Amino acid sequence: MPDFTLSLTDTDAVVTASGVDIARYVFDPGGAASEGPKPYLHPVRALDGAVLSAFRPWDHRWHKGLQMTWTQVSGQNFWGGPTFQRDVGYTQLDNVGRMRHDRFTAMTDAGSEVAFTEELTWITQAGEEWFTESRTHRFHGLDTDRRLWMLDFATTLRNISGRELELGSPTTEGRPHAGYTGFALRMPRAWTGGRVLSADSDDADALMGAVTPWLAFSGEHDEVDGGATVLVFAGTSTGAPPIRWFVRSEPFPIMSPSASFDRPIVLAPGEEVSLSHRHVFLDSIPAAGELRTLAAQVAP
């Protein structure tokens, strides 16, 4: 029996491992324009079936599981919701773009890994095509002894707008500690106040904006016993700024390796930026020392 299998419909792809649907990738989501319709992974599950992602939470309806996005792009917003403006604050504007799934170009549907590569187009609310994107999700590393599986994500954005584009965040626009952008995971509300850990720190506040190879977020579940951990590696960016972490344990749990946390990436027409990250999903909360050892073992 293969470690992973893939089931594909016209709107989504479901990845199964050890009899558990560990991830559903919705590539044709629809939804309100203000939420920035784009593909997302939800639910994401540990091997025990516990859900590790949150979908349309009441505080931010545009937060949808694990998804690739960007908050500030030359005045446009591909994140969803209101836009932060310097000296103004957050305002709901008619500038929320969407991402169109165009096609799958490669697919491995069963075996020791499942992977799919797709092409997408990023379109402003005014209907202008600003980026083409090629992204790959690779599900692999199933380990039933250590109760984990891994996701490798890689993407390349190409500027097709015909103009220079600046990719930033609320922090590049003047809001401190708000560099959220990129491949972002909103976690279950029950994980609020959960443990955030790096190679040398367990202080979530100190890790906001930090440059460190990985972060791990652990939380206890509602409804079912036990807890889980999501270990994320910062990975790589071809942009000039270093990848910095956006992470919050309070007032809600969220984290992303941000490629433009406090400095924008500027792309001339035809230029590209590429990112890669690894997520490891465990159905346990290891002790700090054990988790740090594991991180060294499963690093990309």
Give the global pTM: 0.97
Query: What are the pLDDT digits (tens) for 74-86?
Result: 999 999 999 999 9
Query: What are the pLDDT digits (tens) for 216-230?
Result: 999 999 998 999 999
- What integer pLDDT is reported at residue 2 of this predicted model? 82
- What integer pLDDT is reported at residue 276 of this predicted model? 98
pLDDT band at residue 128 under the 50/70/90 scheme? very high
Query: What are the pLDDT digits (tens) for 140-176?
Result: 999 999 999 999 999 999 999 999 999 999 999 999 9
Name the average pLDDT for the chain: 97
What is the domain-level CATH number for residue 268? 2.70.98
Supply the Cα-derived Rg of the chain in whole angstroms. 18
Say if residue 1's pLDDT is above 80: no
- What integer pLDDT is reported at residue 227 of this predicted model? 98
Query: What are the pLDDT digits (tens) for 50-101?
Result: 999 999 999 999 999 999 999 999 999 999 999 999 999 999 999 999 999 9
Mean pLDDT, residues 103-124 taken together:
97
What residues are paired with 68 via a beta bridge?
Answer: 183
**Count of domains for the chain:** 1
Mean pLDDT, residues 92-121 taken together:
97
Query: Domain range for residue 185?
Result: 4-298
pLDDT more than 70, % of the chain: 100
Query: What are the pLDDT digits (tens) for 10-27?
Result: 999 999 999 999 999 999
